[in-house]
């Protein structure tokens, strides 16, 4: 079945540091890949997505590239801000099963001044 593995947290960075949160997946067919973010006290929000191999999703300075050869979708940001502190979830949906997202465990990011 489908599965998502993402790096353990928490990740603590200083402001303006470079961020990478690793995500790898196992899936049959051609899944779509997502990063969701959960800010304190809020729901999960879609951060970015990619629907096919070599696509790059980007939003708010975050980027992730769909790498089929390494089955990865690592999240990166060149310069994090305190306001980026949140929990980040990698997820996938299988072809034709759009309602059924498979999530990773989430990675908590804490950015300090």
Residues that bind another protein (CB under 8 A): 4, 31-32, 36, 41-46, 49, 51, 89, 91, 93-106
User: Nearer to another protein by C-beta: 68 or 100?
Assistant: 100
Interatomic CA distance for residues 6 and 106, integer angstroms: 7
Minimal distance, residue 79 CB to another protein, in Å = 25
Hey, what are 98's tokens? Answer: 């759009």
Residues 6+ apart with CB under 8 A from 43: none
- Closer of 29 and 113 to another protein (Cβ): 29
Give whichever of 11 and 44 is closer to another protein, judged by the CB atom.
Answer: 44
**Least spacing, CB of residue 18 vs another protein, in Å:** 26
Q: Are 19 and 9 in contact (CB under 8 A)?
A: no
- Smaller CB separation from another protein, 17 or 110: 110
**How far apart are alpha carbons 34 and 93 in whole angstroms?**
8
Peptide bond into 34 cis (omega under 30): no
Residue 24 C-beta: closest distance to another protein, Å: 14
């Amino acid at each position: 079945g489908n599965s998502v593995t993402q790096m353990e947290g928490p990740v603590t960075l200083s402001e303006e540091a470079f961020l990478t949160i690793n995500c790898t997946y196992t899936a049959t067919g051609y899944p779509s890949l997502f990063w969701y973010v959960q800010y304190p006290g809020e729901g999960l929000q879609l951060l970015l997505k990619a629907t096919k191999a070599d696509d790059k999703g980007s939003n708010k300075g975050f980027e992730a590239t769909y790498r089929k050869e390494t089955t990865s979708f690592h999240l990166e940001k060149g310069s994090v801000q305190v306001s980026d502190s949140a929990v980040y979830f990698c997820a996938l949906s299988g072809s034709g099963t759009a309602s059924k997202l498979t999530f990773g465990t989430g990675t908590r990011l804490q950015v300090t001044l």
